[in-house]
Structure formats: structure tokens, C-alpha cells
Amino acid sequence: ISTWKTILLQDSTSPIMEQLMFFHDHTMMILIIITILVGQMLTSMLFNKFIHRFLLEGQLIEMIWTILPAIILILIALPSLRLLYIMEEINSPMISIKTIGHQWYWSYEYSDYKNLEFDSYMIPTNELNKFNFRLLDVDNRMTVPFLTQIRLIVTSLDVIHSWTIPSIGIKIDGTPGRLNQMSFNINRTGLLYGQCSEICGANHSFMPIVIESISPT
């Protein structure tokens, strides 16, 4: 998701998102080259009579347009598979947080040091302060230390939800009766905004997510 006055991705706040942005740029570079080549071929065909008296077969061109696409697909697939494996790793988390999706709010449970549970609802428009963002701010933020390995466990109690923070590069489905997990590490302090990314009912657009990244000391 892009933010105000931008057409690109949000600024990254985690190593995972940085890698995703590098992969995006890598793939876009390949797609732009392909688009230019195909456009040039289509343009040249406008001035071609499509007649060749001596052309019976072209083994060389057949080899080129068979092998070249295979190489391009490999160049896209290898970094993509590497990213998938990196995102699935759980690297000795310091903190585990359980997130539960409801219609239409989120619940958070911290259980490493002491049992702490709270619900997070969107702040209604008529109760917003001047510094709040409409449809994005919540009454209780999820608070985590930065430069700390966090394990997030996501589930749901009713329908399928999707816990998403674009600037971290995280999107985890919350499925009833199932626990999904992901590990992340935030590399700076601040407020990080996200929303439910799975259509979950009438108020799907009104269950935002806010992470407050703070210093661990």
C-alpha cells in the first residue's frame, strides 16, 4: 500500500521489507526490458510485409525464444524462493505475541513475562484528536521494542481475517481453529499502520492495526 502523496511502496521498517523492495525492483527491471523488446517487435511488424521466399525453418530463433524465457523465469524464481524461506524462519524470538481477529477488532495477548490481554478498536471519527489518522488509529496500540526478534501468532474466532503491516512486509491470515506464525524485527522506532486485508464482513474497513515501536531500554 502506498501512503499520502506517494506512488511507490512505503518506507521499510524491517529487513524483510527491504528484501521485498529489492525483489520488487529486480522483477520490475526485467519486466520493463521485456516490455521494451516486445514493443519494438510489434512496432517493426507494422512495417513488415510478412513475406520471405526462402524461410523454411529457423532453428536458431526457436532455441532463443525457448531458452531465453526459461532463463528469465529462473532469474525471477530464485530470489523469490529465497525470500519465501527467509520469511518462514523463526529465529529465537525474544517476545511472542498472540493476535486474535474478531468482527471487527483485534485482541492481543502478551504471555512471556506476565499475562497481558487487551482489545484494540478503531477510534471513531467524531472522537479523533488533531494528530490522529482517520480510519487508521486505534484506542490500544500493540507495543513492541525495536531491534528485537518478535514472533507473531495469528488466529481468528469467527471468520478469516488478515493481519497486515505493509512497512514491515507482513501479511498473515487469521483462520478460525488454526495458528499461523511469523517472525519479524523492526529496525526503527515510530508508529506503523496497517489494516485487515481479508474481506471479513460489513465493517472490514474499520479494523485497523497500529504498532508502536519503542526503545527496548
Distance between CA atoms of residues 121 and 192, nearest Å: 16
DSSP 3-state of 138: strand
C-alpha cell belonging to residue 180: 499461523
Distance between CA atoms of residues 205 and 103, nearest Å: 11
pLDDT at 3 over 70: no
Domain 95-214, second-level architecture: Sandwich (2.60)
C-alpha cell belonging to residue 1: 500500500
pLDDT digits (tens, 9 = 90+) for 74-87: 999 999 999 998 88
pLDDT at 1 over 60: no
CB-side exposure of 183: number of CA atoms within 13 Å? 15
pLDDT value of residue 2: 59
pLDDT digits (tens, 9 = 90+) for 116-158: 899 999 999 888 888 888 888 998 899 999 888 999 999 999 8
> Is 0.85 surpassed by the pTM of this model?
no
In the chain, where the domains are located: 15-47+56-88, 95-214
